[in-house]
């Protein structure tokens, strides 16, 4: 199964999740993990799976992720199984109320990424997922790499 995991990362947290997802898919000859800014158009040819991840920046995907998504032509992902993920800060009581309100109102990067992939013909195989960081620069919360591996197992069963 030809699989492409596309990601952007500012502080390495989203990259760690992307690499963990790639490793969990198994056969490294069939799996490519690549930064969004480095994707070439032909990398989307013949895909079985496309998973796109981004840090949540201002309640949306990063600029490089948005640029990658805009480069996908209409219906280019027909028949490709897709899903998305992001990294984000957990909205706990420690986060100021205004930010919690804004996150509830505007959401995170995962859903707009998945919506874009589906708009271009992709077939959703699993709900998008958010992975948590302790602060805007990280590190990842304990157990997030393991959650990513479990998520891949669910994806592969779909």
- 84-99 pLDDT, tens digit per residue, is 999 998 765 676 666 7
* CB-based contacts of 58, cutoff 8 Å, min separation 6: none
| pTM of structure | 0.93
Phi, psi of 104 (to 5 degrees): -65, -40
* pLDDT for position 89: 82
Of 108, 91, 109, 88, the C-alpha closest to 100 is: 91
* pLDDT for position 26: 84
Of 52, 132, 62, the C-alpha closest to 84 is: 52
* pLDDT for position 28: 75
Share of the chain above pLDDT 90, in %: 77
* pLDDT for position 106: 78
State in Å, rounded, how far the first CA of the chain is from the last one.
Answer: 13
Q: What is the pLDDT of residues 40-73, one digit of tens each?
A: 989 999 999 999 999 998 889 999 999 999 999 9
């Amino acid at each position: 199964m030809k699989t492409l995991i596309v990601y952007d990362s500012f502080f390495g947290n989203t990259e760690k999740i992307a690499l963990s997802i790639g490793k969990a898919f198994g056969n490294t000859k069939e799996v490519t993990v690549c930064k969004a800014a480095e994707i070439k158009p032909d990398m989307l040819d013949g895909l079985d799976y496309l998973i796109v991840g981004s840090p949540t920046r201002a309640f949306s995907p990063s600029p490089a992720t948005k640029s990658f998504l805009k480069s996908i032509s209409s219906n280019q992902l027909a028949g490709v199984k897709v899903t998305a993920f992001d990294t984000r800060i957990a909205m706990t009581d420690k986060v100021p109320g205004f930010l919690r309100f804004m996150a509830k109102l505007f959401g995170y990067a995962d859903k707009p990424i998945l919506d874009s992939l589906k708009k271009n013909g992709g077939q959703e195989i699993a709900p998008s997922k958010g992975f948590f960081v302790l602060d805007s620069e990280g590190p990842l919360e304990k157990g997030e790499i393991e959650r990513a591996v479990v998520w891949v197992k669910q994806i592969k069963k779909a």
